[in-house]
Structure 1
């Protein structure tokens, strides 16, 4: 029996690119001729059909989708009917679990009651609003253009319509004080949402903000400042009844993002849209390491030794919408590339993803699944240093361990036998 299956749909469009953004997104100016938002839903549905045909040709018979997530970019830049059309195609091709979680990200300025009502009627169950901050000068620094009042209004409307609601926050923006951050967290709490994500600001050199930092126009994020803000968020959110379940995510019990939990548990997912990533376990018959589906036009080739060890595959779509559309027109799954993940690499991924979760990391289950073992000496030393706690064979990161997550992962990986 295959593990749960998820679908991610990437909508790579924004009205304006935020200064810190490193995601695969495009404004109208970026797109150039030959690419359009108007036919995006049609093309995404075509990719779904190609992907489904490729799966079937490679013996991948997925169960009904347990979650579907529309991310971006700004999915709600498209008409609500387009999002519903894409969701309907997922339902047609793969089916949908009863009580499946169906989420879209949303810019607070891009939706209203009518828009949200259309989504709810079309089967969406969850909305994640990009709030980022409640402080105007912080929003300006981040190049966020939404009106903070629209967050309050649209969260209220979404709750009235029966959605589960999440908001995203970003901490560490240049010029953001501890008081500013406390105000943003408190505002998010007072919205009465089920779920809050809080992410440290990370800056890539080629972004607008990266160039501003390099030229000395603004200060770079400070690690100590971000650590202090993480501790503030954890304390305030916990006090409000939202429990951390992943390093950057807090939720009321039973309202965790099931889609994101699937990523951290390393389940199968199909990524649809320019730049989207996909992940599959046990993709092909190891006795036949080269398979091709003429209709989908994707060939998986590996040496016999690699095929025997491969336990999953990761693939990524062509990033630019125009080139992606050309591949679809040529009846191809529009992958830019793929890689086979060996058993050893898969074991490392399980550690890196699993230790992020509040449910903890089960040492016995890890050994049973991978044939590898983490030495007790290293686990005991992590406990002694206050980085993890241990309950039988399950280890869970402490607050200090969450702040030093990279160190914990490094120590666990180094201990593998």
Structure 2
């Protein structure tokens, strides 16, 4: 389970927002995130706000969709965006809920704010949690995109990560999703796991390409305090990840995916076309508004950011009592928003205008060979491949 939530200002019991924020909701796009906090088992590296049955003390998945719909009733009174551009259901393992329950939540969002006719509707899924029939039901309920947690095609790497699916299940699930009519299919990879070899990761990349996915997310393993993997490393049972190895894996991903027809559009994300890019995440990265439904979910509307209470039992009780599940919130000032905008946009292939960035820092990044010179000459900061490896350092320099 994730750590304690940060403190902040109180959230009004009716969930209302300052008038300026509410009036401009969705001006630059509007997304809805739905958090489903249930997992069949816990992966050793995971510190997300998720719970297995034994950790919930009798709280079940039944009725969860109704609880989320109650939060939507509060949200409807708070803001009225013109339309919903994207919906992303994450977790946890959303596909532990029935496809029809996920469909009911989606229908509730449509009735509350109205889905754009071309809305992107994504759910995450563990490969072992879906079947061809389940995928067909998801598609019939309006989902257009699925993101499958593959992580690796190597059995021994999956074992270290405490994943439950077999090595070939994720690519097979991707093919089944295509057959069910999903427009876009993403496969998630994790690289740098202790014991993973260069050949292991190369095999994972080949499996992704052969599965027919049109989007790949690849992230270096991060060992979070409080996880089982962190404890194993402290005891010396596993070695800590190495930065040089992670860099080598990233370069391997870039080469293999580019050769297969993918192109990077965010440091950790590749797509086969502009249409295959994750529009939901792009809204996050380009300063749009979103409402997060579910325990522990974060939201942002018009410079107001808030986060819900973390535990599903507390979340459900708040809503049963007719009050907002918001734990706390903060109002971002102009400088906060400027810095966050830079931190996110620098990671995109479109980059960010040089105007407003620290001039010396940007010039240093150029001199260090971390930027595209032609873009810099035209007033745009865009990372080249070495710059992507050092994106965090570039961001620190230009803020």
Q: Same fold (TM over 0.5)?
A: yes
Question: What is the match of residue 379 of structure 1?
Answer: 362
Give yes or no for the alignment of 1:118 onto 2:137. Answer: yes
SS of the residue 1:279 aligns to:
strand
1:8 is matched with which residue?
Answer: 33
- State how 1:81-92 maps to structure 2 within 5 Å: 81-92=100-111
Name which of 384, 390, 396 aligns with 2:382: 396
Residue aligning to 1:323? 314
In the TM superposition, 1:9-408 aligns within 5 A as 9-33=34-58, 35-55=59-79, 61-163=80-182, 164-254=184-274, 255-281=276-302, 312-364=303-355, 373-390=356-373, 391=375, 392-408=378-394
> Does structure 2 retain, via aligned residues, the 8 Å contact 1:244–1:358?
yes
| 391-400 vs 376-385, greater mean Cα deviation | 376-385
Query: Does the residue aligned with 1:8 lie in a helix, a strand or coil?
Result: strand
The number of residue pairs the alignment matches comes to 369
Q: Is the 8 A contact 2:36 2:94 kept in 1?
A: yes
Counterparts of 2:72 and 2:384 in 1: how far apart (Å)?
41
Structure 1 stretch displaced more, 146-155 or 232-241:
146-155
Change in Cα spacing, 1:21 to 1:375, as seen in structure 2 (3 Å) is closer
Give the stretch that moved more between structures: 106-115 or 10-19.
106-115
Contact kept in structure 2, 1:4 and 1:63, CA below 8 Å? no
Deviation, 1:383, is 1.2
Give the Cα separation in 2 of the matches to 1:363 and 1:95. 37
Answer whether contact 2:126 2:148 (CA < 8 A) is retained.
yes
Query: Which TM-score applies when normalising by structure 2?
Result: 0.91
- Partners in 2 of 1:7 and 1:112 — Cα distance? 26
Q: CA deviation at 1:374?
A: 2.1
Q: Distance in 1 between matches of 2:358 and 2:71?
A: 45
Q: Is the 8 A contact 2:359 2:398 kept in 1?
A: no
How much is the aligned-residue C-alpha RMSD, in angstroms? 1.1
Deviates more, 1:130-139 or 1:45-54: 45-54
- Alpha-carbon distance between aligned partners in 2 of 1:52 and 1:363, rounded to the nearest angstrom: 39
Match of 1:284 in 2: none
Q: Give the deviation of 1:323 after TM superposition.
A: 0.6
- How much has 1:186 moved relative to structure 2? 1.2
Stretches of structure 2 that go unaligned for 5 or more consecutive residues are: 1-23
Q: Deviations over 1:23-82 (max 9, x none)?
A: 00000011113x221010000111111112122xxxxx3121100000000000111100
Other structure's SS at 2:382 match? strand
State the Cα deviation string for residues 229-273 of structure 1 (Å, max 9, x = none).
011101111111110000110001121000011111121000000
Instruction: Report the Cα distance in structure 2 between the residues aligned to 1:363 and 1:332, rounded to whole angstroms.
Output: 45
Shift of 1:114: 1.2
**Residue number in structure 2 paired with 1:299:** none
By relative contact order (CA 8 Å, sep 6+), the higher-ranking structure is 2
Are 1:409 and 2:386 matched, yes or no?
Answer: no
